[in-house]
Amino acid sequence: MSAEAGGPRPQAPVAGPETTTHCPYCALQCSTELSGGRGRVAVRPSPDFPVNRGGLCQKGWTAPALLGTPGRLLTPLVRGTDGVLAPASWDAALDLVAGRLREIRALHGADAVGVFGGGGLTNEKAYTLGKFARVALGTGQIDYNGRFCMSSAAAAAGAAFGLDRGLPFPVTDLDGSDVVLLAGANPAETMPPLMRHLERPDLIVIDPRRTRTAERAALHLQPVPGSDLALALGLLHLAVTESLVDKEYVEARTTGFDAAWEACAGWWPERVEEVTGVPVAESRRAVRMLAGARHAHVLTGRGAEQHSKGTDTVTAFIGLALALGLPGRAGSGFGTLTGQGNGQGGREMGQKADQLPGYRSLTDPADRAHVASVWGVDPGSLPGPGRSAYELLDSLGTAEGPRALLVFGSNPVVSAPRAAHVTGRLAALDLLVVADFVPSETAALADVVLPVAQWAEEEGTLTSLEGRVLRRRAHLSPPPGVRTDLEVLHGLAVRLGQPPDRFPVRPREVFEELRRATAGGRADYSGVSYARLDAGEVLHWPCPAGDDDHPGTPRPFLDRFAHPDGRARFTAVEHRPPAREPDAEFPLYGTTGRVLAQYQSGAQTRRVPELVEAAPEAFVEIHPDTAGRLGLADGTFAEVASAYGSARARVRLTRAVRTDTVFVPFHFPGAARANLFTGDALDPRSRMPEFKVGAVRVTPVGERP
């Protein structure tokens, strides 16, 4: 296996002690060994970690380049009266921010200040950020970029199983699977080491594009973008009509099957083919492969979830898995592939608009009382739920929305839908503060930029996509002039009148408090400790305290699901079209996604020369037949326009995409931002934006954009 696909590559050893930590990118959290000093840090994969098994992807191999990237932020920056960001001392920068926050709150109220977090923050930082917003600022206006990533899957899994764990089983369970269905997931590019666990199973891949993952599949279903829900309903219909339902399992372990069947009874195979474009024979083969396997898994990814009906789509795939008797059985199951590095832990620790640590609810009086007691505040002082991520960004600078925003670990100028509109809202703020270690596109707009430590310079914990709590360890000290996010939040909290001991700066102290705050919650970390993790114990939450030997819960649904009656829930859902379908003005489907060598908004990976060489710019992937009709030539530039805006990128001709569809990766800045043409339709339950489908027009713009 090549290094690009996750295999080892030669690397000269560097003298010095090694530090075991984890990759700064995706939620696989591959284990790595770092060695060498600043400017010459080397990385190698940990040979015995079960997830990556001695392999890394191209991004993981090049991660040390981030530590010395040119232009890294090393001192606070404050925008002067001339409009230019200039260096300032930490005291001056924090005094300025705290003073402006006090003024804005006094004039407009506590909710005039917003906080926007990230799914890459450690558990300790995500926990402290939520606490800071609700206690030091008193605002309910906090959300994070995980809303753009996992929210639909989380809502569907929570409703079906009573608990949201991306994978409610270890990744290694996939090794023994016979068939794995991947709905809207492309791990060969987004998390290549996962493919080591998918070598044995026959893969069924559902994707409008023939991705690198689809190329390895035994069966590739290529539906019309936005029709995944109809396809899932059709697969469940076939399972019922072909007598493939595991009736004993359904009766013993689920509820609601009859209503779910009634909802999908009208999705007979020929109707599904008409709506999705997937031939009946392929749908029938997919269901038979899953039902005939001794062990099988159904996994969803962003392609199925980033829709205005993403929660219902995941719900329908859960229904298919339940009908076949997969979730909660040893060797089989249902799961979702979490994307961001701490996408799982980040949504459990309280930086989401409606949640408190431990997956507690901000509207539940008992949950509020428990967390308030840990924080040492009156439960009545905690604000209620605020706006979801896009709604928060959309409201910035308006009479009803925040006038100030603090951003930690996110780059919404590139990653948010309707990117030009969101950029305008950020520019309308009275105060924008960005904490980052690189000058991202969002930091370039800020009034104050605060330089913070990065992955190999900090301690903490993260939670992988399989619910395993992992230790991040510091290999280097932060450069002079750089502080940790915890130190930044402490400094601001004290300046806003909080007791210094309420906001610790040592991650271990924060984690001890986090244990108490999550105790008894759905995501219970109270039995996890740094001591146990450092001793090498493998701990998946829920891991309650009470006895120090609780082994954690790698497979939480083997005996019962997390609802009070122990049963999983079928839910009736109905297909509906995307918010905007192609028409005469915008005749094609536009979809977005990732490529192997870049990650998320690209703020980090676009600074690594080897990754830039591999994927230097955005492109418009289009079928040659479609390009011919539109007068587009390979290598020239095109404009992709929708009702919301337009992006420009180089044309790439390929037969891997449907003739009615174009694809643009979303990692790139400026006029090439794919999110310039994505819309603002939101899932009514998860508030997930519809990134994966829209109506677009593609026109040539010549040799140069």
Residues 207 and 117 in one domain: no
* Helix (H) or strand (E) segment spanning residue 661: strand 661-665
Residues 70 and 7: their CA atoms lie apart, in Å, by: 28
Residues whose CB falls within 8 Å of the CB of residue 398, separated by 6 or more in sequence, listed in order: 425, 428
- Same domain? For 324 and 232 the reply is yes
* 248 and 221 in a common domain: yes
Q: How many residues belong to the chain? A: 705
- How many CA atoms lie less than 13 Å away from 467 in the CB half-sphere? 24
Query: Quick one: 574 exposed, middle or buried, by C-beta within 10 A (0-12, 13-18, 19+)?
Result: middle
56 lies in a domain? yes
pLDDT at position 15, please?
36
What parts of the chain have a pLDDT lower than 50? 1-15, 705
> Is residue 319 included in any domain, yes or no?
yes
pLDDT at 10: 33
Do 230 and 108 share a structural domain? Answer: no
Cα dist from 542 to 49, 167, 505, 555, whole Å: 21, 13, 26, 10
d(CA 526, CA 348): 13
76 in Cβ contact with 89 (< 8 Å): yes
**Position 670 in a domain:** yes
Select from 147, 141, 143, 115 the least CA-distant residue to 689. 147
Report the number of distinct structural domains present in the chain. Answer: 4
Take residue 540 and report the two structure tokens written for it: 């998946």
Domain membership flag for residue 400: yes
Q: Are both 160 and 309 inside the same structural domain?
A: yes
Does 259 lie in the same domain as 159?
Answer: yes
Residues 157 and 276 in one domain: yes
Task: Look at residue 521 and tell me if it is in a domain.
Answer: no
CATH number of the domain that residue 24 is part of:
2.20.25.90
348 found inside a domain: yes
Per-residue confidence (pLDDT) for residue 517, from 0 to 100: 98
Nearest to 511 by CA among 499, 526, 494: 526
Are both 330 and 441 inside the same structural domain? Answer: no
Determine the pLDDT at residue 404.
98
Domain enclosing residue 420, as ranges? 77-148+344-459+472-505
Does residue 481 lie within any of the structural domains?
Answer: yes
Q: What is the CATH number of the domain that holds 121?
A: 3.40.50.740
Residues with Cβ within 8 Å of residue 536, at least 6 apart in sequence:
none
Tell me the HSE value of 260 on the side-chain side, using a 13 A CA sphere: 30
The domain that holds 158 is classified in CATH as 3.40.228.10
Q: Is 357 in the same domain as 380?
A: yes
Neighbouring C-beta atoms of residue 116, cutoff 10 Å: 29
* C-alpha dist (Å) from residue 626 to 275, 580, 639, 658, 660: 21, 20, 14, 9, 8
Find the helix or strand (DSSP H, E) in which 490 lies. Answer: helix 485-495
**pLDDT at position 548:** 66
pLDDT (0 to 100) of residue 705:
44
Domain boundary (336, 371, 396) is at 336
Place of tokens 């930490």: 90
Residues 348 and 494 in one domain: yes
Amino acid 547: pLDDT: 67
Q: Based on the fold, state whether residues 122 and 165 are members of the same structural domain.
A: no
Whether 1 maps to a domain, the answer reads: no
Torsional sign, CA 526, 529, 533, 537: negative
List the structure tokens of 336.
């979702």
- Domain end (from 313, 336, 359): 336
pLDDT for 39: 87
d(CA 376, CA 505): 17
| Alpha helix stretches (DSSP H) within 376-431 | 389-395, 412-415, 419-427
Q: What is the pLDDT of residue 284?
A: 98
CATH number at residue 676: 2.40.40.20
Find the angle CA(648)-CA(409)-CA(415) to the nearest 5 degrees: 20
pLDDT at 549: 86
Domain termination site, one of 43, 68, 93: 68
Q: Are residues 141 and 156 in the same domain?
A: no
Question: What residues have CB less than 8 Å from 83, skipping those under 6 apart?
Answer: none
